[in-house]
Homo-oligomer: A and B are copies of this chain.
Amino acid sequence: MTTEIIIAIDAMGGDHGPLTTIPGVDLAAQRHPDVRFILFGDSAAIGAPLSKAKYLQGKVEVRHAEITVAMDEKPSQALRRGRYKSGMWLAIDSVRSGEAKAIVSAGNTGALMAMSRFVLRTLPGIERPAIAAIWPNMIGESIVLDVGATVGADARQLVEFAIMGEAMSSCLFGKEHPTVGLLNIGSEEVKGNDSVKEAGRMLREMKLPLRYEGFVEGDDIAKGKVDVVVTEGFTGNVALKTAEGTAKMINTFMRQAITSTWISKLGALLSSGAFSTLRDRFDPRKHNGGVFLGLNGVVVKSHGGTDGIGFATAIEVAIDMVRNGLTQRIASDVAAVHGLLPMGEHQGDVAV
């Protein structure tokens, strides 16, 4: 069964717009010759980089959009100004209509989430969406969610995140029974805030069909102690950015230290193969793509500052999610445990 996959691209998103998104789409097309793309944005700006693309012949369609959502625009303003007319909105709407299977954007995260919630709505049984990050660890990669969509998620929402993260881990890494942990400040049941303790109790007692391994701490993320790390959006966002900042700092110091004397420079030259392996492993472009979970459709957010290689990675994450039926998997997983979850008050809620 090979249905054709069409991916919608917000071509104007990101710090460099089409100058990085189009080369990214081209690279993804080279690797996935069976995928087609629709590029939404200012057709004049898309034209030049598109003319240089080698692998997009006959596989791409450009849809002109009058409005581009600015990177620093407030989500509410973007929603007012960009509704029906911005490339971001139109790209998302093509997923709602079923024309495209997923949308990838390097644009304004808040605006992308607000529009995605408005257009696609949350899946039945899901109160709030989450953004899942793909996080390199000692033994591979784990999924950490939420990294910024739902600040102050309550216990029930954390349980939903656990179900969604587990589904994503299965789809993306092909793990049959991914392990799930709740991020906390200690492993004992008495530790943490009320929502984490209550979510822990629910996950222990509800007998959901997932491998819940209990509480994990900040340093367990890098250890790869569990496949899926669940937390609310504020803490998850701070943890993600703190880890990125730490990695960058060490990288900078490493360069400084190595180039400080001619003998260490010579040493670095000899070790350059090893360093490039290391750089490769932590290349942020290879872990690019925050996946919006819990919506009626696949939405992948690329880092705004990435290049074509990084944008291609985000597209490939979207393709993987579509191929492995992430949305359907989450919908059926949530439906299966529906009776077990306490009734929420905000189902299908729309954010503006």
Q: Write the residues of chain A forming the contact surface with B, with a CB cutoff of 8 angstroms.
A: 74, 137-138, 148, 151-152, 183, 185, 188, 190, 192-193, 196, 217-223, 231, 233-235, 237-250, 252-254, 257-258, 260-261, 263-264, 266-275, 277-278, 281-282
- State A175–B192 Cα separation when bound (angstroms): 34
How many subunits of this chain does the assembly comprise?
Answer: 2
Instruction: Assess the A185–B151 pair: CB atoms within 8 A.
Output: yes
Instruction: Assess the B268–A242 pair: CB atoms within 8 A.
Output: no
DSSP majority for the A interface?
helix
Which residue on chain B has the smallest CB distance to residue A75? B190
Residue from B148, B188, B218, B273 in contact with A237 in the complex, judged by beta carbons closer than 8 Å:
B218
- State A278–B251 Cα separation when bound (angstroms): 10
- State A148–B196 Cα separation when bound (angstroms): 15
Residue from B188, B246, B275 in contact with A222 in the complex, judged by beta carbons closer than 8 Å:
B246
Instruction: Assess the B238–A218 pair: CB atoms within 8 A.
Output: yes
CB distance from A326 to the nearest CB of B (A): 25
Instruction: Assess the A257–B245 pair: CB atoms within 8 A.
Output: no
- State A135–B268 Cα separation when bound (angstroms): 28
- State A312–B237 Cα separation when bound (angstroms): 35
Residue from B233, B244, B254, B274 in contact with A218 in the complex, judged by beta carbons closer than 8 Å:
B244
Residue from B74, B148, B217, B272 in contact with A185 in the complex, judged by beta carbons closer than 8 Å:
B148
- Given the contacts A151-B185, A219-B244, A239-B218, A275 and B257 also touching, CB distance less than 8 Å: yes
